[in-house]
Amino acid sequence: MPKKSATTSLADEQAAPGGAAAVDKAITVLAAFRAGDGSLSVTELAERTRLYKSTVLRLLASLAHGRLVQRTADGQWSLGPEVARLASIYSASFSLEDLVMPEMRALMERTQESVAFHVRQGDQRLVLYRVDSPQLLRDHVRAGDLLPLDRGAGGRVLMAFAGAKGRMYDKVRRDGFVMVSGDRVPGLVGISAPVWNAARELVGALTLTAPEQRVRPSFADELRRSAQALTGLLGG
């Protein structure tokens, strides 16, 4: 019997109260796969989960039986087809509006500024959802409006992650968000970040707008936190 490891595993740290230890460990193996991972070796999985290799191998055998993982030709491991099937069922089980609107309302409440969710529609961007600031001085845009794709924070994000060329778009891709002032309307600041789904496809751009004089340094972090939360809800 192997001696107890001096390092606590992730499964032990994140154990579900009253749950099954083996299931907790299997979950940490699945969660070890990150965006961009094609496949991982047993060693890499053991390092990321802080489990013994022998334990990881036993868990992989059970997960492979359920098609949640699969062994690749070079002896490594990747996520299996059952993960894709479950992801498609999950995606079909909710309305995008039901996920996006609560987070948009929460962001508006924290900042007291207007929040929108933009998607690309041809050579323009559509305001798919909108939550207005309660303050009288704000930009007057409604859900359903079409706005320029090449002006405004939301448009810049949609273009950047569609592969648009130029120093501005390179910076947006590098920073993961954009903050612009007067790009569409003089005196109006826009902050926008991408929202992704489980397939790492761009779903849309979450955007906060405010008059220059009301912008606070914390707004960018608040907006990015909400965009990341939505990406997480969508499996990204």
What does pLDDT average to in each consecutive run of 10 residues of the chain (236 residues)? Answer: 57 76 92 88 95 95 95 94 80 79 97 96 92 91 91 96 94 96 92 92 95 95 97 88
For the chain, domain boundaries: 10-89, 94-233
Q: Which residues contact 35 (CB under 8 A, 6 or more apart)?
A: 200, 236
Right CATH for 10-89 from 1.10.10.10, 3.40.50.1370, 2.60.40.1180, 2.30.30.100: 1.10.10.10
Sign (positive or negative) of CA dihedral 209, 172, 123, 149: positive
Q: How many residues does the chain have?
A: 236
Alpha helices in 32-124 (DSSP H): 42-49, 53-65, 81-92, 96-111
pLDDT tens-digit profile of 190-233? Answer: 999 999 998 889 999 999 999 999 999 999 999 999 999 999 99
Q: Which residues contact 5 (CB under 8 A, 6 or more apart)?
A: 50, 52
If one counts every other C-beta atom within 10 angstroms of the C-beta of residue 87, the result is: 15
| The two three-digit tokens of residue 60, written as one number | 């992989």
Q: Quick one: pLDDT at residue 4?
A: 45
Question: Are 57 and 41 contacting, i.e. CB atoms less than 8 angstroms apart?
Answer: no
Q: How many helices (H) and strands (E) does the chain have?
A: 9, 8
Question: In Å, what is the CA distance from 223 to each residue of 22, 29, 82, 141, 207?
Answer: 38, 31, 34, 18, 7
Q: Which residues contact 217 (CB under 8 A, 6 or more apart)?
A: none
Check: CATH 3.20.20.70 for 94-233? no
pTM: 0.65
For residue 176, give the 3-state DSSP assignment: coil
